Structure 1
Amino acid sequence: VANVPEGLLATVTVSLALTAQRMAQKMVLVKNLESVETLGSTSCICSDKTGTLTQNRMTVSHMYFNRKIVDASVNYEMWQLEQKKEKPDDKMEVNYDLNDSAFQNLVEAIILGTYTIFNYDATDEEAKQLYAQMKGIPAASLEGKELSVQDMKEMKARLKVAEEKLPFIRRACKGDASETGLVQFAQAIKDLNQTRKTFPTHVYKNEANKDTECLIPFSSDIKFNMFIRNMEKVQNLSGDMNDNLCIFMKGAPERILNRCSKILIGGQEVEFTDELRNEVNEANAQFGNLGERVLAFARCTLDPSKYTKDSYQFDMKTWKTWGNQKDTKSAQEYADIEGSYPMHDLTLIGVVSLNDPPRLRVDLSVQKCRSAGIKVIMVTGDQPPTAAAIANKVNIIKHPEREFNHMVKDLGMDPDAAWEQSTGIVVHGDELAKMHLSQANLADDDPNKGNYLQRWISKPEVVFARTTPSQKLLIVDACQKAGHVVAVTGDGVNDSPAIKKADIGIAMGSGSDVAKNAADMLL
């Protein structure tokens, strides 16, 4: 290169290509050659939690209903299969009662408040492997070859039949990972398809005479989803409220609990007093401290005299203008708005927590990064207790007793003294939003703009919880302004903007197509 400088371009390109080739052997696909060089100079990693640091295999762990916490970690179908064995495991016990009406109400709310279904589509590769197995030939011999249409169809049909015979907890689902864990648990107790068919999502004809489905899909912005279900068990019994329409809502506890004025206890809807609210919050905190994702379920039976099935036009487009205002306390405040329906004054049915174990050896990987001087920040949509517990398990927070909020709230320390002595901080997305709003009038080139974020990320151990996609962008931008070369790892659609913004974006191979398209590198 010294004698022929023109060779520099070829030398660098070949070096990067060889490195990319070696990384491919380690199951890392490099989409952009320049990212190989960037990876070597990375000084900060902003990592998503679910599906990146954890396995994204959600299983129901605990439930809170009827003023009690129940261990629901044993799937009922798996317990039944265990009992059929000659020597069943005595330690495998079901701690919930299938005849308990409160438990059945919660299971029904899980089924009617979710849209994930059991769905398995066999791939061409799986079909080839089965064909090779049946013919007694090596699968490698079919590489680059195509099966006949008839053989491919037969193999996929066989795989589908075999998959349907698996226990529900092992069957493939189409939908959100959290909902997958919920429906795999509920299916063993109540049939998913039959229950949803009995109580379908309400559909009405709009002004253009087109069918409008009454549901609000989940998003990382609102952090809940909602269905309006037709609960009519007996035809033409519209005078009975229990056979009319009913709202089912599922989402983050802080979003759902604020909308509830009643709670279901002993089959009765009673006032949601401060005492009962504290009980639910305590259960939520207890589940969060175990590192579990927590979801709350609520419902509201609609008055048939106002919300008629054949004529009422439910507002599914502009509901945010009246149903998602922070200062709204009661449904009465927007009851007169055309097309409105109760999104407050709901009845809390219960709370469910799901366990998502960390990926194997991820704690060692984080420790290696820290030893190499790379800062690892967790950025997640989960609530702070859950995020902090998982961060502790994977070595992102090594000293939970010296976390800022713990020192202020639990130990009663002065905030200034706690800040000086703390080594880590867990920041709530609402706090980030409030601080960002307070600096909205500052010019982009103002040195004080975003100084609160610079202060937070100066701590050795940092976790951001309950964040939105736009807030993830702010965090990445702040790290870059602090002089870091930033890598962002994620798997979801909500991670994509931050992956694109980062100096190097890394997506999980098991993640969404949007995240993989935005990334420079795939794991």
Structure 2
Amino acid sequence: MASMGSDNSKTHADVESEGDTLKDDERTGRSRQITFEGSTSADGVRSIYQPTQTNRTRSISRDTIHSTRNSVQGMPELPIEFRTISIQISESQNAPKEAIAQTKEKQPHQDYFESLDFHIISTDGLCREFNVDQRTGLSSASAATRLQRDGKNVIAHNRENYLKKIFFYVFGGFCSVLWVGVVIFFICWKPLSNPPSVQNLSLAVLILIVIALQASFSAFQDWSTKRVMNSILNLLPAEAMVMRDEKLIHLPATELVAGDIVHIGIGNKVPADLRLLSSSGDIRFDRAILTGESDEVEGAIDCTEANFLETRNIALMGTGVTNGNAIGIVVLTGSRSVMGRIASMTAGVKQKTTLIQREINRFVTIIVILTVFLALLILFTWVGWLRKDHPSYMSVVAMLNNVMGCVVAFIPEGMPVAVALTLMMIAKRMKHTNILPKGLSTVETLGCVNVLCSDKTGTLTQNRMFVKSLGMVDWEYSVEDLAPGESGTVDLPQGLQNMLHASILCNDAVFDPTTMNLPANERVVNGNATDAAVLRLGDSVGLTSPTALASYERVHQIPFNSKNKWMLTLHRDPKSAKEFILYVKGAPDVLLDRCATYWSAVHNAVRPLDVEAREKFSNFQATLSRRAERVIVICQRRYIPRSVPGSNDFSKEMLDHGVHDLTVLGIFGIVDPPRPETASTVAACRKAGIRFFMVTGDFGLTAAAIAREIGIYDGQAEPDTIEELRGGLDPSMEVKVPRSRHSLLLEGPKLSALTSEDWETVCGYDEIVFARTTPEQKLRIVTELQARGFVVAVTGDGVNDAPALRAADVGIAVGSGSDVAIEAADLVLLDKFDSIIEAIRLGRLVFQNLQKVIAYLLPAGSWSEIWPVIMNVFFGCPSPLSTFLMIIVCVFTDLFLSLSLIMEKEEFDLLSLPPRRPTKDHLINLRIYGQSYLFVGVMEAFSAHAMFFLYMWRRAGIPFSDLIFAFENYAEGFHGYTQDELNHFVSVGQCVYLVTLVIMQWGNVLSVRSKRMSILQADPIRPARRNPWLPLAILISFIIAVFVTEVPGIQNLFSTASVPIEFWCIPLGLALGVLCMDELRSLMVCYNSLLYKDSPTPKLAAKRSNNFLSNSI
């Protein structure tokens, strides 16, 4: 083994290939073999390869710290003590079975992790174990072998409990009530009926068919929803920055294998369990998804705990990088990772009830209460009155049939289907417009949003920055001054050269090597937009040459974060063996107090930063900020460290002592142009009644200038500040009078001093810009708004936005944002920012169309069906509508027309109305009940009964007065008819009642399809409001009515009969009457609105008018 280990003649690829084929006992003398679950191959354990590098690399070079999005792969639902990941669940769902199949465990999970020593052994030993050099990474051939052996880096789902699902499909929801009907009808068939009633048996079978149809649809809807959501989630990118074949490449995170060298950075999700090899010194992770604790965990290079699960030198799959950069080696992937093990022990989590679910549950509760009340009323009426006074009128079977008729009448069996299809179809529409909701309930919640808090950089702006201005404390330069002369070179002053040189060294951006052959302005830059802007400027003057930077080796780095608001790099001084050069860049208002001197362009030397110089600096900063430029200051310091560079003590020393006594080198003014669609989006939100706030980490004057440019501030007057509201937050000071009570500029440092009363005042403003905010302050802004009853949406793209995104009612991430932001959000915008308006519009459309569906279903499917039962039980009249025909209306004829309503387009004023108030504007309210029951319902019930009694008078010669309170008299000999003839008259009359309801519902559907517009404006013919599904649904309902009444087999089985032709024609006029009456009602509404508008109390009028428009049908 020693001779093998000393053989240096082989190449890396040769040795790696050889290592992949050797047995474990040939590679190492260690007796214990680390075995991955489900893997028996030897690859991934110790090799003979000895990397020619130091024992541990504690520094990280500037060319290897850049990373791209590293998304955690698919995760099933976790128990309540865990927070679920919702981004890449599709990966595991779509993964091949053989890739995620797991062998039966031979030992408990805890024992498995206790047996691991990846966190204990040295980094060199770990690289030998995985047969990899961290400088070159795995070869493609070795990675392919390991991927084939171990499978993709995905998490296997727990098998779903299909028996439980089937049980819910069959017995859940309204089906549970229908099963009661099945039992009752079977009892009515046998033994209560003698001889057995075939009609009751047929009704029992029919209800079983209805249950089967509903269960089948529920299963189909569940499957379709998962398919839609999975296809949406598949569009979210999941890549890792991996070293392969000595190149740093982007790789799908699902293709990571054990031994891969992965680069991670702030905003990334850790794509697999990693052992950290090197870091920037301030790497921190959010492990809340695993532990439930919100405190960040600081990463380390050395082992800190014997327990694999607790040590800080292991980055666990699914956790988020909240600060810093690091390089790690993959030790566990997929279902072998900690997250995978947790997932395998987890069966799922009960989802919390959404807004739309609460509305549906509220409606169902009301319906069930009414159903039970009327059913009991019928039962007690029969027991206490009919059985005694009219014993031969209603048998037990007839009473039970009436009870079931009441149940069928009041329960809108078609509504669950319509609700599910509405949400699913709107989600598909969103997908087609590059709006990706992670859950169907998110679609409806958007319609309630009345405050939108948006991050600025990358969300409202393009995140394509360029340097527009630069200068020093006592001199301003123009970018044009840096243009090369005739000789092709740039002659820079010493101070400006120092400034640009420092800005290139204190920079994480690099040009993509694959685009270096392109012109400078077309090259792709890897890194954040601020660094990219400075890099391009430095490249234009020839300061990015590797030879010019090679002597300034970077030995330490503290990346920029939203708390510190600065970035630090430490470099070796090529002119000194002991001294290092420390560069810091960041926010001027943070760094200026830490500066003692500045480089003077006038004197070409370092000068003290006295009061006069500070005033010049502040004036220059304010000038740039008012031009909407983001101001960055670059500083330097010569430093002799006390600790060893790369150690944990050294990182602490840099934080505590490094950023002091700095020298100001210069200032950059960087412009981030707003997105072209931002201004129109802000205007559209304001028109829709949504207040648009900016929440940014930028300097106050810069944020205010951009807010004015994109329309968040719609006036030229200066916004109020908190000092004008509270006299500088000191109650003893005189309170100043605010200028507008309309626009407010509030900076983050002032937020902590605000009281509850102050927040009441702040939340009363229409236009607010929150500047210089930290992630914690963004979160507080959201919670304070929510505490005052606002429904808050938050947009963002960075890791600093994640807490607010997670806390918001609707978190909206930009598709180009960080993994942490996308994971925390409920909705992702893949395209333009103005697609958020489309999302809001569709969210409102969902609620509006559901209201239309319910307003359509209630008049015939509930109100007009319960009155035949009441007439039969309490007024002794032959039942105008049989239970079978009630089921036909509820489940078939009304269903297709209600489904056509979910395809309705939005009305012209949909985005001009105020948002829905979840606590007051319910899906079903008194106005809808009044419209459905007391207006349209009364017309339909009265007309249908009139048609029934008209038929009985014209064809049987039995007047209305003889049918009322007939009770047991309606029998053999009544008006000289036999019992069979009387039954036939009733059967035809019941079908007349059915046909009348079916046709009148055509007029109803034409009226409810538009809440704000006349049928003359919103007719279904012109393209603007055309709904091709509507005539098709009308045709289907007509065919069903003909089939039920005219087919002989149905007539014999369910006692139906053919309807005379005139009773098909008369209801057409009645349907037109319903439409005309609704038009008259709409006209009266408009007239009353005009009266309120012209009244001497315009505020009251506007309030009443808005309330009516928000709730009326």
Q: TM-score, normalised by structure 1?
A: 0.73
C-alpha displacement at 1:371, in angstroms? 1.4
1:477 is aligned, of 756, 768, 783, to: 783
- Tell me, yes or no, if structure 1 residue 166 matches structure 2 residue 518: yes
Task: Label 1:279 to 1:381 Cα distance change in 2 as closer, same or farther (>3 A).
Answer: same
For 2:759, the equivalent position in structure 1 comes to 453
In the TM superposition, what are the counterparts of 1:143-292 in structure 2 within 5 Å? 160=514, 163-189=515-541, 190-191=543-544, 193-202=546-555, 214-233=556-575, 237-238=576-577, 244-265=579-600, 266-292=603-629
In the TM superposition, what are the counterparts of 1:50-61 in structure 2 within 5 Å? 50-61=457-468
In structure 1, what is the Cα distance between the partners aligned to 2:446 and 2:480?
40
Task: Label 1:194 to 1:426 Cα distance change in 2 as closer, same or farther (>3 A).
Answer: farther
For 1:363, the equivalent position in structure 2 comes to 679
For 2:652, the equivalent position in structure 1 comes to 318
What amino acid sits opposite 2:800 in the alignment? N
2:745 is aligned, of 411, 423, 426, to: 426
SS at match of 2:713: coil
C-alpha displacement at 1:342, in angstroms? 4.0
In structure 2, what is the Cα distance between the partners aligned to 1:22 and 1:427?
38
Task: Label 1:403 to 1:103 Cα distance change in 2 as closer, same or farther (>3 A).
Answer: same
Task: Label 1:420 to 1:110 Cα distance change in 2 as closer, same or farther (>3 A).
Answer: closer
1:329-373 Cα offsets, whole Å, 9 max, x none, are xxxxxxxxxxxx442111100010110011012111111111111
8 Å Cα contact 1:220-1:468 kept in structure 2 = yes
In structure 1, what is the Cα distance between the partners aligned to 2:632 and 2:805?
27
C-alpha displacement at 1:309, in angstroms? 9.7
In the TM superposition, what are the counterparts of 1:272-421 in structure 2 within 5 Å? 272-302=609-639, 307=641, 315-319=649-653, 323=656, 341-405=657-721, 416-419=735-738, 421=740
SS at match of 1:62: strand
8 Å Cα contact 1:169-1:185 kept in structure 2 = no
- Tell me, yes or no, if structure 1 residue 10 matches structure 2 residue 316: no
Question: Is there any run of 5+ residues in structure 2 with no aligned partner, and where?
Answer: 1-173, 175-408, 830-1113
1:42 is aligned, of 449, 458, 461, to: 449
Let me know the Cα RMSD of the aligned residues: 3.0
Identical-pair percentage: 33
SS at match of 2:746: strand
Task: Label 1:346 to 1:417 Cα distance change in 2 as closer, same or farther (>3 A).
Answer: closer
In structure 1, what is the Cα distance between the partners aligned to 2:426 and 2:480?
44
In structure 1, what is the Cα distance between the partners aligned to 2:663 and 2:482?
27
Question: Is there any run of 5+ residues in structure 1 with no aligned partner, and where?
Answer: 85-93, 121-159, 203-213, 324-340, 436-448
In structure 1, what is the Cα distance between the partners aligned to 2:586 and 2:819?
24
Task: Label 1:432 to 1:69 Cα distance change in 2 as closer, same or farther (>3 A).
Answer: same
8 Å Cα contact 1:43-1:375 kept in structure 2 = yes
In the TM superposition, what are the counterparts of 1:440-519 in structure 2 within 5 Å? 450-519=756-825
Task: Label 1:238 to 1:317 Cα distance change in 2 as closer, same or farther (>3 A).
Answer: closer
What amino acid sits opposite 1:279 in the alignment? K
1:470-503 Cα offsets, whole Å, 9 max, x none, are 1110001111112111110111111111111111
Task: Label 1:75 to 1:365 Cα distance change in 2 as closer, same or farther (>3 A).
Answer: farther
In structure 2, what is the Cα distance between the partners aligned to 1:111 and 1:311?
21
1:27-75 Cα offsets, whole Å, 9 max, x none, are 2112111111011111010000001111100101101226111222788
**Bigger shift: 344-353 or 3-12?**
3-12
For 1:64, the equivalent position in structure 2 comes to 471
In structure 1, what is the Cα distance between the partners aligned to 2:766 and 2:805?
22
In structure 1, what is the Cα distance between the partners aligned to 2:623 and 2:716?
16
Q: RCO (CA 8 Å, sep 6+): is it higher in 1 or 2?
A: 1
C-alpha displacement at 1:421, in angstroms? 3.5
C-alpha displacement at 1:405, in angstroms? 3.4
SS at match of 1:225: strand
For 1:130, the equivalent position in structure 2 comes to none
Task: Label 1:470 to 1:400 Cα distance change in 2 as closer, same or farther (>3 A).
Answer: farther
What amino acid sits opposite 1:521 in the alignment? L
What amino acid sits opposite 1:489 in the alignment? T
**Bigger shift: 165-174 or 37-46?**
165-174
8 Å Cα contact 2:722-2:746 kept in structure 1 = no
SS at match of 1:421: coil
SS at match of 2:652: coil
What amino acid sits opposite 2:662 in the alignment? L
C-alpha displacement at 1:280, in angstroms? 0.9
What amino acid sits opposite 1:228 in the alignment? L
8 Å Cα contact 1:295-1:351 kept in structure 2 = yes
In structure 1, what is the Cα distance between the partners aligned to 2:682 and 2:567?
34
1:92-128 Cα offsets, whole Å, 9 max, x none, are xx9x9633111111111101111222236xxxxxxxx
C-alpha displacement at 1:317, in angstroms? 3.6
In structure 2, what is the Cα distance between the partners aligned to 1:288 and 1:192?
32
Task: Label 1:184 to 1:3 Cα distance change in 2 as closer, same or farther (>3 A).
Answer: farther
- Bigger CA radius of gyration: 2
In structure 2, what is the Cα distance between the partners aligned to 1:372 and 1:318?
50
Task: Label 1:497 to 1:6 Cα distance change in 2 as closer, same or farther (>3 A).
Answer: farther
8 Å Cα contact 1:264-1:347 kept in structure 2 = yes
What amino acid sits opposite 2:552 in the alignment? F
For 2:498, the equivalent position in structure 1 comes to 105
What amino acid sits opposite 1:451 in the alignment? E
For 1:127, the equivalent position in structure 2 comes to none
In structure 2, what is the Cα distance between the partners aligned to 1:75 and 1:380?
31
What amino acid sits opposite 1:183 in the alignment? L
8 Å Cα contact 2:499-2:666 kept in structure 1 = yes
In structure 1, what is the Cα distance between the partners aligned to 2:791 and 2:644?
58
For 1:91, the equivalent position in structure 2 comes to none
SS at match of 2:738: helix
Q: Which has the higher strand share?
A: 1
Task: Label 1:192 to 1:482 Cα distance change in 2 as closer, same or farther (>3 A).
Answer: farther
C-alpha displacement at 1:8, in angstroms? 2.6
Q: How many residues end up aligned between the 2 structures?
A: 413
SS at match of 1:36: helix
8 Å Cα contact 1:454-1:479 kept in structure 2 = no
1:169-194 Cα offsets, whole Å, 9 max, x none, are 33222222111111111122212533
8 Å Cα contact 2:719-2:739 kept in structure 1 = no
8 Å Cα contact 1:256-1:297 kept in structure 2 = no
1:182-228 Cα offsets, whole Å, 9 max, x none, are 111112221253343220113xxxxxxxxxxx222211001011111
In structure 2, what is the Cα distance between the partners aligned to 1:495 and 1:169?
30
Task: Label 1:312 to 1:35 Cα distance change in 2 as closer, same or farther (>3 A).
Answer: closer
What amino acid sits opposite 1:47 in the alignment? S
